[in-house]
């Protein structure tokens, strides 16, 4: 739900950016007759960078975002993905060629939703450990841990969410 709301707000923010770019250069907030609260409110949405481009801020997208959600949105606005969690897509894991799940650590909790269409089942959660392929008890899909991610990419905020 938040991702849909966030992405739609980002799209509308980028559309209004082009319209406000020319308007923001024309505004000068020197008028002392207006109350400070209204001028700061307008200035908040019309602040510009040196290149004349509107600054995108977390407050403009989701004003009440805090903690990890705020970090994710801030990184998204900067064009980064702090989690690097693009849900793995690939062929059905077999005993000969198991589905590889990337991880920073030697073990990880994995959820198996099954195959496509009729082969789909409720998500079954299990621990996956390095060197031990695991078979889903419902759909017989095989998984194994692949240490394809570098620990150097860990951010300090991720340490509490990680598996030891």
| pLDDT surpasses 70 at 79 | yes
Buried b (16+ CB within 10 A) or exposed e, 81-111: ebeeeeeeeeeebeeeebbbbebbeeebebe
Query: Is 134 a known ligand-binding residue?
Result: no
| pLDDT surpasses 50 at 30 | no
pLDDT of residue 61: 81
Span(s) in the chain for CATH 2.60.11.10: 99-161
pLDDT of residue 38: 39
Looking at domain 99-161, its CATH architecture is Sandwich (2.60)
Query: Is 139 a known ligand-binding residue?
Result: yes
Query: Is 68 a known ligand-binding residue?
Result: no
Q: Which two tokens stand for residue 131?
A: 């060197």
Share of the chain above pLDDT 70, in %: 52
| pLDDT surpasses 70 at 122 | yes
């Amino acid at each position: 739900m938040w991702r849909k709301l966030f992405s739609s707000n980002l799209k509308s923010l980028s559309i209004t950016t082009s319209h406000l770019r020319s308007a923001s250069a024309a505004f000068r907030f020197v008028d002392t007759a207006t109350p400070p609260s209204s001028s700061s409110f307008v200035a908040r949405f019309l602040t510009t960078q040196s290149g004349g481009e509107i600054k995108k801020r977390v407050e403009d997208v989701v004003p009440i975002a805090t903690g990890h959600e705020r970090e994710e949105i801030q990184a998204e606005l900067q064009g980064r993905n702090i989690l690097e969690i693009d849900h793995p897509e690939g062929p059905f894991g077999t005993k000969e060629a198991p589905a590889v799940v990337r991880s920073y650590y030697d073990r990880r909790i994995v959820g198996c939703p099954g195959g496509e269409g009729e082969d789909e089942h409720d998500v079954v959660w299990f621990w996956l450990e390095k060197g031990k392929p695991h078979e889903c008890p419902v759909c017989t899909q095989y998984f194994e841990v692949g240490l394809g991610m570098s620990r150097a990419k860990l951010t300090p905020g991720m340490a509490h969410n990680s598996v030891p």
